[in-house]
Amino acid sequence: VLKLFKLLHRTRQEVFKNDTRALEAARQKINEEFKSNQDETSEEKINELLKMASDVEVILRTSVIQAVHTDSDKI
């Protein structure tokens, strides 16, 4: 669980690099989701949550695009 938590935060830092608002929002959401489920004892539910977190990490890494404003009329 801790390994996946750290992986999500590393992915967040790479995907939202230089976007402080998105970095903070993603940090809060990751921490909130893990904290809200920290007392879960059902192995089935834990495995389901871990699968979902893993899927989210893959989506962040492969599907999120950060545009960079390079000039007054270019992104």
Taking phi over 0 as left and psi of -120 to 50 as alpha, with beta for the rest, 42 belongs to beta
Q: Judge if pTM exceeds 0.75.
A: yes
Domain positions in the chain are 1-61
Round the average pLDDT of the chain to a whole number and report it: 90
Q: Which residue in 63, 66, 4 sits closest to 33, CA to CA?
A: 4
Cα distance between residue 54 and residue 42, in whole Å: 18
pLDDT higher than 90, residue 46: yes
pLDDT in tens, 47-60: 999 999 999 999 99
In degrees and rounded to multiples of 5, residue 74 shows phi and psi of -130, 145
